[in-house]
Amino acid sequence: SKQAGKKKGGKGRGGKSQPQKTQAPFVVDPQALVRLAEFRKTEPGRDGANMPYDSYQDMWDKFVVAKSENQRENWYQKSEDYWKDIDSTIDGMLGGLGEVSDNDIAGSTEFLRPFLNGRSKRKVKSGSALDVGAGIGRISKLLLSRFFDSVDLLEVTQKFLDFAKKDLANIEQIKNFHCSSMQDFAFPTQYDVIWIQWVIIYLSDDDFVAFFTRCREALTETGIIVVKDNVTNAGFILDVADASVTRSEAHLRLLFEASGLKVMEDKVQPHFPKDLFPVKMFALCPMGQ
């Protein structure tokens, strides 16, 4: 995972292929898309320099659309360029906050374990997991490989994957390394758990819904998506340095709903520094399940 915790108001950071099963087409409630569209036009936000924006849509129009003809490509290129200059270390992945890694893994373990041992609402199999925004493989190494027979990594920065291939070479559960962005990734197989940590801040709302829809379709019958990321109490925060947006929990829940996903469990990550954004974990499954 990359990007441990951005400081509040500051610039800190934070297997074998299985055959695809045929699923009945899922149709998202049109009202979910209406609610998301309305929210985008009404919730205010700001950037790290306290430049205010009337809404997420206002920010997108002013910061992205007005500054670029190839708006989508340039938005993502800025964040990719940012990460190319970051060291392939845990401290680099966590924005200089490598000391939070142990507490992070402990919190994630506590959140994930009930789904695997049958003590949660949904019994998840321990066959396969995908680590999204894997960076150098910190989560694959310290968390997912402990619980799953097969772990794949998805990461857009090639040098991080090159490091991970060497660092994780002796862990037999680590299988495939996919160098791709989230918005362009085509799932090659299905997964019991898709773990997405400290990386959704780089997706536009439209690409968020498209990617999470593909995640939903790539789950096994009892699979879940786990999202772990910074949240604001209200309003969004734009970081112009790496083209990222930290959203409110209300915004995230509308995005999940628009992707055909429901929140089964959620929990705040404990024992993190007080000057960081709150970090929240969400366990998601397809609506209707």
pLDDT score at 215: 98
Angle at 136 (CA atoms; ends 166, 172), nearest 5 degrees: 50
Average pLDDT of the residues in 209-218: 97
pLDDT score at 16: 43
Average pLDDT of the residues in 258-272: 97
Helix (H/G/I), strand (E/B), else coil: 191: strand
Average pLDDT of the residues in 148-177: 98
Q: Give residue-wise pLDDT tens across range 25-81.
A: 678 889 999 999 999 999 999 999 999 999 999 999 888 876 666 788 889 999 999
Q: How many CB atoms lie within 10 A of CB 234?
A: 12
Contacts of 283 (CB under 8 A, 6+ apart): 111, 115, 120, 122, 224, 225, 226, 263, 264, 265, 266
Q: Is the pLDDT of residue 21 over 80?
A: no
